[in-house]
Amino acid sequence: MSQYQYDTCLLFLGIGLFLLVATIIGQILKFRCKSPNSVIDNLNTRINAWWVMVAIIGVAFWFGQLTVIFLFFVISGVALREFLILTPINRYDYCVLIFAFGIALPTQYILVAYAWYGLFSIFIPVYAFLFLAIFATISTRNFLERIADVQWGLMITVYCISCVPALLVLDIENYQGRNLLLIAYLVLIVQLSDVLQYVFGKLFGKHKISPNISPSKTIEGFIGGLLSASFIGACMCWITPFTFLQSGLISLMITLLGFLGGLVMSAIKRDRGVKDWGRLIDGHGGILDRFDSICFAAPIFFHVVRYFWVD
């Protein structure tokens, strides 16, 4: 067994044990609660959904890099649909939608699979933006609003999410063949931060950060989740090319970006008058409800690693 396989098995074993403990605690709380409790029921539903999501990611890791890239391609496609389904569509937008789903989305992931960094890093922010505007000129009615919705959707759901599998193309010294662990590190730290912010908020939260955008987020939950997830990230330096201190600082950066990303995506939902992006994941909402934090953390994390750790 190689070092990468050993570290991967150890990582997923740790995640499995964590979920097992969480499941036991959740069932004990449910058993001891004499009357139905929405918070406990929601917690158990979220934990069950996490089992499924971890299993899917684990299978993708088992089959290798191309499977991981394809998994995130599917995630981006579903997330883009969730984003645009809240956007008013008329008959003039069909060309734009065909370009977004039929050309921009697959092209971005093909470029990632071929490790063509020079093009996949600018394809959507430059070329897709320009072509979308051209296709949208079939009608000038609400032109800016129509084109901005699709452009923003592509940036968030395709470009930003594609930066997660793009970590596979980075040639990091003394880390070859282990880049999948960087993906696990990024996703795990950001998601742990979300969970811990929720837990600390429920236990100690008193002061709301932004009641009009995200009423459940509190200062106490934010600080507790940020610091605890950053410490866990520092302790996970063994699966990264970072030192303990570097890993802690990077974890702090991506958890903070994840929190801010969650606020932005919540603001979009409030603007559209919805609570969740979808109902695909029981207890979590849609794909974007799970990836809203990663959307903002992934591109910054990718470029920081590329700039400081790639020759």
Phi, psi of 102 (to 5 degrees): -90, -20
E strand segments, 236-283: none
- Give the pLDDT score at 11: 84
Give residue-wise pLDDT tens across range 159-202.
Answer: 999 999 999 989 998 888 889 999 999 999 998 888 888 888 87
pTM of the predicted model over 0.95: no
Rounded distance between C-alpha atoms, residue 277 and residue 286, angstroms: 5
What is the amino acid identity at position 225? G
Nearest to 254 by CA among 275, 236, 269: 236
pLDDT at 108 over 90: yes
What pairs with residue 14 in β-bridges?
none
Length of the chain: 311
Q: Say which DSSP state 165 is in.
A: G
- Give the pLDDT score at 283: 58
Between 234 and 44, where is the model more confident?
A: 234
Would you state the structure tokens that stand for residue 86, as one six-digit string? 């809240």
| Sole residue written with tokens 């063949």 | 177
Give residue-wise pLDDT tens across range 137-157.
Answer: 877 777 888 788 889 999 999
Give residue-wise pLDDT tens across range 52-100.
Answer: 888 888 898 888 899 999 999 999 999 999 998 887 776 667 888 899 9
- Give the pLDDT score at 281: 65
Give residue-wise pLDDT tens across range 234-291.
Answer: 999 999 999 999 999 999 999 999 999 988 988 888 888 887 787 776 656 788 888 8
CB 22 within 8 A of CB 54: no
